[in-house]
Chain A
Amino acid sequence: MSVRHAILALLSEGPKYGLQLQKEFESSTGEIWPLNIGQVYTTLQRLERDGLVESDETEVEGPQKGFHITDAGVEELASWLNTPPDMTSPPRDELVIKVLSALRVPGISVHDVIQVHRRYLVELMQQWTRLKEDESDFDLTFALVVDAELFRLDAVVRWLDTADGRLKRAASEPATAPRGPRLARRLVVRR
């Protein structure tokens, strides 16, 4: 959905044509998100159909055809910007499932499994950090995208660290009553 809104955001600055939108989209995502021109035109057609943009009637079809945002488009854009994406459902994260599964497999050390994933994530973070090492070489949008990736990966490393510590403590404490039903009940309430 958000290529559509990213295009509306670019058009909110003033009328633009397709090729220009493609280039500006790529630079606004720090050059890390390639977008083909076909997708730009498909999106523009849909936006026009929904009354959110209008094309310049005087121009012929083609790369120089201009588009501008309508009042309904401005309203839709503001509403999208201010609507938090749905992050309430507990994600069925593959990494979480792997760690939970490792607890059940005989002969597998869950701490070793955690470390394999931790190292992979830190190696990935090293690569992202290297991208922002040369401050003269990156612009603001690129820095924001790199930061977003680093914080996302960092959150996973922190979860692994916490899980590692929790499992270590649990191993040295006497077993407690199973907690599955309580957790399940809480998740149902959250939904």
Chain B
Amino acid sequence: MSFLELRRVTKCYGAGPTEVHAIADVDLAVECGSLIAVMGPSGSGKSTLLTIAGSLEEPTSGEVLIDGTSIQKMSRNDKARLRRRTIGYVFQDFNLLAGLTAVENVSLPLELDGLSARKAQAAGMAALEELGLADRAAHFPDELSGGERQRVAIARAVVGERHLLLADEPSGALDSTNGEAVMRLILAACKRGVAAVVVTHDAQLASWADRVVFLRDGRVVDQTVPPPSPESLLEESPPPGLVR
């Protein structure tokens, strides 16, 4: 069963002659353990799709289901709980709180959810350790490199029992090596069963996904088919222009 499902989701801004369709009739299903990339140019509706999937914004029409439950039918409190417990967000500009250390940033959502400070801190440390950041736990965001800050943001998004990871241009302004590291972390979360959606205009990031969905003018216009085994690449003639 899909963990996240969007059914004919439309979002309009404005009304009458100034009405703009940010996204229109979008269907999207994301299974547990799978990584979906949404590619499209600026203004194609990628970020709107993500904020609606994450219940940060209401669709004008259509339905969003998380773990089989329609979020339109949830109360405000239930939605807030869903956001705290189930959904992890990673933003382009990291959105870490400057006054908190790395581990405090990661454990904050758990504390807000009622976990004791000690337990939340332990879970935060475990998440940082997994991402190779244990020695940076007591540092403040401005003492971390860009790559480290984004890893902290990912740790915060997957800490606890979160099952849905939503990332908006997660490599931000990072170089390609750090961008690859970010995608490896997201993929590792998927291997543990997390369903993930990454929106990006970067084909190299998108190519880490199981499926790439293409958005144009707010509509899904195409998607990749599951690729054949990569070994087929090695059976073909060598890539042009490398040697010979």
Contacts and interface: CB of A to CB of B under 8 A. Distances in A.
A-side interface mostly: helix
A74 interface: no
A157 B238 contact: no
B175 interface: no
Contacts of A72: none
A10 interface: no
Interface residues of B, number: 31
Interface in B202-244: 203-204, 206-209, 212, 214, 216, 221-225, 227-228, 230, 232-234, 238-239, 241-244
A86 to B, nearest CB: 12
A123 B224 CA distance: 6
Nearest to A148: B242
Residue among B39, B41, B225, B243 with the highest chain A CB neighbour number at 10 A: B243
Nearest to A123: B224
A164 B209 CA distance: 23
Interface in A136-191: 145, 148-154, 157-158, 161, 164-165
B187 interface: yes
A126 interface: yes
A32 B238 contact: yes
Contact of A128 (B207, B221, B238, B244): B207
B239 A133 contact: no
A127 B203 contact: no
B136 interface: no
B84 interface: no
Given A3-B244, A115-B214, A128 B230 contact: yes
A131 B207 CA distance: 11
A184 to B, nearest CB: 26
B8 interface: no
Interface residues on A, range: 35 or more
Nearest to B225: A123
Contacts of A161: 41, 201
Contacts of B222: 115, 119
A122 B239 CA distance: 16
- Listed residue (B201, B214, B244) with the most chain A CB atoms within 10 angstroms of its CB: B244
Interface in B117-136: none
A118 interface: yes
B204 A154 contact: yes
Contacts of B39: 122
A130 interface: yes
A177 B115 CA distance: 67
Interface in B18-37: none
Interface of B: 39, 41, 184, 187, 201, 203-204, 206-209, 212, 214, 216, 221-225, 227-228, 230, 232-234, 238-239, 241-244
23 contacts: A2-B243, A32-B238, A33-B238, A115-B214, A115-B216, A115-B221, A115-B222, A118-B214, A119-B222, A123-B225, A125-B206, A126-B208, A126-B212, A127-B233, A133-B187, A145-B242, A150-B207, A152-B239, A152-B241, A154-B203, A158-B203, A161-B201, A165-B41
Given A32-B239, A119-B224, 8 more contacts: A32-B233, A33-B243, A122-B212, A125-B206, A129-B207, A131-B230, A149-B239, A153-B203
